[in-house]
Amino acid sequence: MDNTTDPDERRLTAVVHAAFFLLLCSSFARFLSRDQGGARTGWVLALFAAFFLVYVLGHFLAPPPRAGTPPTTRHLVWLGSVSAVWTALLALAPSATWCAMPLLFAGLYALPPRIAVPLAAVLTALVVVSEVRVAQGMLNPNMVVAPIAVAAVATAVFVHLQRQAARQRVLIDDLVRTRRDLAATERRAGVLAERQRLSTEIHDTLAQGLSSQQMLLQAAERVWATDPEAARAHLHKAAGITSRGLAEARRFVHDLAPADLAEQSLPAALRLLAERESGPGLTVEFRLDGDPGRLPERVEAALLRIAQGALANVREHAAATRAALTLTCLDDQISLDVADNGRGFDATASPTAPDRTRGHGLPAMRIRARQSGGTLTVESTPGEGTVVSAAIPSAVNTPKEKVS
């Protein structure tokens, strides 16, 4: 059966088959009306029948190859067989001359140009010889020129279409390969973005909570024998951090907003954070300048996480006694400043040997600010404290996350 799936190819094949049967019927009718008679009539009728039978069987048993694929051995055998039968028929009945057109199409369609062009030349030469043989009187030049011109045009068109189809297949293959590579790149980017998100969330919630618990438990251990009340206070505070960490972990698993923002506004959550971070040796104040209103959940979560990360750095590294958490609301942006009076550091220096187990806080805060369409700056001088500032546009629609 025909193995073509392209509707255009099926229609073209149907037209060629119809042309073959029309030409075959016309040739047979011409033979019966003009050329029959003599001992060769039986052979001619048998060859007409064989020609018809071989052509029809080839359509079902040896279909042409799909575009861009080499012809099968079965199809080549059929093409040779039907051409041989037509040649024999042509020798006995010149009426079958124009049945060469479907054969010309079959050869040009199935064979590569280096074989199809010589085959077309042979078929055209046979047609010309047949036309000249049956000519009566003065030779009509059209009998020689017309078959050659038609065959040349048909051959040129088919070769051009084959080469154009080959170029299109190359372009399509390149496009498919490019789309496949792009899909793989997008998957890798998605994996990296999700990995970055997970590491940032874990750092800002579980890691900070565990660090605070460790400090409190160590403090409780130091004063366990000398000041039991202080030790119990440390344990009580560590238990509170454990409860909050568990709540954050559950909300993180369900991809929800920070627990502090579940039932209260961003200023209230920041005020509560300042109260929790205040303790022996460190006082944290919260200041609000303006009314932020209701911000997008993603912006509120980013600002809260940035505040948590900045205060965690103050607590663990700054050796500060005071810190100020300031939320400033302007017409076009909202900014968060975390300032301390700690030891500070050289913000312009590039670490030569970074510690991969620490130092994730500032990069995570920068990523959060950038993902929300804002920026994060750090100003610090050794011995004069540090100021971390995050500025995020207050527009409702925040840009989509980008992978850097």
pLDDT digits (tens, 9 = 90+) for 238-256: 888 787 777 777 666 555 5
Q: How far apart are CA 92 and CA 39, in angstroms?
A: 11
Q: Across the strands, what pairs with 327?
A: 288, 336
Give the distance between the most distant pair of CA atoms in the chain: 136
Sorting pLDDT into bands at 50, 70 and 90, what band is 42? confident
| Apex 183 CA angle, 178 and 187, nearest 5 | 145
Q: Has residue 142 got a pLDDT over 80?
A: no
Q: Has residue 404 got a pLDDT over 50?
A: no
> Across residues 106-126, what is the average pLDDT?
79
> How many Å separate Cα 325 from the centre of its chain?
44
pLDDT confidence of residue 270: 92
pLDDT confidence of residue 65: 73
- H or E stretch covering 179: helix 141-202
pLDDT confidence of residue 397: 42
- Which residue has better confidence, 80 or 246? 80
Q: How far apart are CA 197 and CA 364, in angstroms?
A: 9
Q: How far apart are CA 98 and CA 135, in angstroms?
A: 15
- Cβ contact 387:339 at 8 Å: yes
- Cβ contact 104:71 at 8 Å: no
- Cβ contact 166:185 at 8 Å: no
Q: Across the strands, what pairs with 287?
A: 326
- H or E stretch covering 201: helix 141-202
Q: Which of 101-105, 364-368, 395-399 has the highest mean pLDDT?
A: 364-368
pLDDT confidence of residue 326: 94
For the chain, the average pLDDT equals 80
Sign of CA dihedral 299, 302, 306, 308: positive
Q: At what angle do helices 100-110 and 113-134 cross, to 10 degrees?
A: 170
Which domains does the chain possess? 7-139 (no CATH), 265-348+359-404 (3.30.565.10)
Sorting pLDDT into bands at 50, 70 and 90, what band is 154? confident
Q: Across the strands, what pairs with 324?
A: 285, 339
Question: Residue 56 CB: number of other CB atoms within 10 A?
Answer: 13
pLDDT confidence of residue 398: 41
| Apex 258 CA angle, 252 and 264, nearest 5 | 150
- Surface-to-core class of residue 342, CB atoms within 10 Å of its CB (0-12 exposed, 13-18 middle, 19+ buried): buried
- Among 94-108, 214-228, 319-333, 370-384, where is mean pLDDT lowest? 94-108
- Cβ contact 317:282 at 8 Å: no
- Helix then strand then coil, % of the chain, to nearest 5: 65, 10, 25
Sign of CA dihedral 248, 250, 254, 260: negative
pLDDT confidence of residue 12: 75
pLDDT confidence of residue 136: 67
